[in-house]
Structure 1
């Protein structure tokens, strides 16, 4: 009983899941979605259902396959050792791409304080790379502080965004929302398809929901429920906040804003409140980026420890910080920021979000398909198998649709990256096979 009291409740885990997902993923979305109009809000419904299905399936994988490795381990269950490498490789790249997008978000919110950052492509690039290296170097001190900072700074986004979902309706104007509904006269299917990668971006990270099962009361019941409720809670906040903002700020202004939540609070109250929201958003982005930089380096370290990545990623200092790996990650992110350079923060953000979605969705597909083998090995009862297969099909259908919706450029880029991944694995594959036995002597 004493041991149970020390474990996390369903409410605690649900809150943790929602907070982990929300982070800094939402703060640039209103501007990106405003370029398509309010009709893009319909994609939230599809993404919320798909994301809950994915989160539930990952929870089931975690319950019946408690080995370390997360998505990579689930992929290996169905597709072998090469799938472990490719899943780790693509997820690593997805985190790196996502970090650059978070950096761009932070620079967008810094622009009103430092107008030079918004004066062109080069200043935006310089600001993004500066934040990438600032948060990289800040992690050299080890993990002891990183988690604590992130746990506090994330509320800099959650409080304004969740607050807008509640109080923003007092300023909501139906005529402003109507004018913003479909300014480009897109077909509804096209508008939904183009905004699916944007809405999926806000839910990336749901795969981490099952990682805390050892610290939860009654994990077989509470982990799947927390995944569903946490994802649904985040979805409600996302839908309400992005809907109300399009009924307050005129669409053309919102589409060109580098700090949409600051803009709406400035319009609701006054410019000073807008600046406070901007400062909170910058704080949240920097804290989030600090945590994700550490996660990126740890992902590479875990793969290196298993012989999948170069050993240099596994070297740590006395403070348990993989500094060399962090520096390599910083260089990689700098090159990514350079390759997507654009004078428009929202445009650059959109390019990265599409590519991040693709490099995340492929590991989703390989890991989710592992659930079938995992349940077979765990001798799961037929009723649970039947229920899980239905949810799995929903998760898979959404993943395939999201891949398609990411666009040919992002999918093409993802496929090229994956093709290189197979080559890289070819060089290390011999580490994971038994040494060939000597050929028998000829008679």
Structure 2
């Protein structure tokens, strides 16, 4: 039996969840939200409630279904092998799209030091693909190196963003915030809906929380609580930081900023501090991208091990790195960056965020609904079943609303991708069918 003193406490797991979620998802959000106005901040409330419900459902899934596979394994509980494939397929695509968006965030912050990167669509594409390939090659060293680098670099975003949530109020001007409230005169419901994909983007990754259930003390109590507290902690930092920045930088200026957090620190202190924040943000983005590139390749490997992705993704090096799979992923992401090419980092970022949200939300729904079957198998008490089902319905309701809020273009793109996934699985399905009776047997029974 493992020594409980070596296991993670509630505080440790809560911190881990918060750090994993924050990553680099926040650094371009103030610019995109400013384009709608400060009224878009209301969407944080809706997303925080929905995300906490989703996080709770995944924590319960992790307890009832400890086998490998994550979201795909949870999905298979209710939706069989085809569900496993479609969940892996969509989650894989969502990670690939999200990685391109993270690379664009980093390039946006680098334009101050390398103005050429912000001079048009081609330079932005070159910068984005260069980062994608750099982080791919850096992962060839294996998971140990990736983990150590990511654990350090992520603080490059967390420290400035969390710091702004606390000290930024000394520079906060209510009149600047009031002016920024609703510059486009949008109905409140429309403003919230338009901002949902952006706020949801910041919470993507919460599904990784349940994966640590076998390394914590009293997982049935600690994991659900840490998921909720970690998500709530990230939500508080997100709300405070994006609110305070709207009261320091005038809306028109913020809406056109390529590096909003660097801009606000330069305004609060001086340009040198702004440049330091910019360097920290770039480092954090690169570190985050490094980790997510490995996660992308591992997702493909896990699915290939189940005979649902090409076998090439299963090949690993002596250092346990799926190098060939990583190269294929980098090529795919380069094509994605090319297909959404734009001269404006913020515009390209918005397109990718909506599509990433759609392809992530469908696996969220399929995985969460697997909890119903898990609870049935575990013969849980009526009270636990009722509580979990209520939270599951909240999680699914939010996911469906978020899908609607992503807009017809993103949903249309996601529908095509999903339909193509059914075609792909059609070719794979025979691998999972029980042995077909001989022709003579079928004839005799006719």
Q: TM-score, normalised by structure 2?
A: 0.98
1:108 corresponding residue in structure 2:
108
Distance 1:9 1:140 in 2: 32
Distance 1:100 1:442 in 2: 57
Distance 1:342 1:247 in 2: 29
Distance 1:78 1:302 in 2: 19
2:117 corresponding residue in structure 1:
117
1:149 corresponding residue in structure 2:
149
1:149-228 map, 5 Å: 149-228=149-228
Aligned length: 443
Distance 2:110 2:139 in 1: 22
Q: CA deviation at 1:31?
A: 0.2
Distance 1:306 1:394 in 2: 31
2:97 corresponding residue in structure 1:
97
CA RMSD of aligned residues (A): 1.0
Distance 1:49 1:284 in 2: 27
1:56 corresponding residue in structure 2:
56
Of 138-147 and 45-54, the range deviating more from structure 2: 138-147
Distance 2:57 2:305 in 1: 27
1:332 corresponding residue in structure 2:
332
Distance 1:239 1:271 in 2: 25
4+ runs of 1 displaced by more than 6 Å?
none
Please list every run of 5 or more consecutive structure 2 residues that lacks an aligned counterpart in the other structure. Answer: none
**Residue deviations 1:246-288, cap 9 Å, x none?**
0000111101000000000000000000000000000000000
Q: CA deviation at 1:442?
A: 3.7
Distance 2:130 2:46 in 1: 36
1:268-287 map, 5 Å: 268-287=268-287
2:76 corresponding residue in structure 1:
76
2:420 corresponding residue in structure 1:
420
Q: CA deviation at 1:363?
A: 0.3
Please list every run of 5 or more consecutive structure 1 residues that lacks an aligned counterpart in the other structure. Answer: none
**Residue deviations 1:1-25, cap 9 Å, x none?**
9711111000000000000000000
2:43 corresponding residue in structure 1:
43
**Residue deviations 1:15-66, cap 9 Å, x none?**
0000000000000000000000000000000000000000000001111111
Q: CA deviation at 1:319?
A: 1.5
2:127 corresponding residue in structure 1:
127
1:30 corresponding residue in structure 2:
30
Distance 2:370 2:126 in 1: 42
2:344 corresponding residue in structure 1:
344
Distance 1:317 1:239 in 2: 43
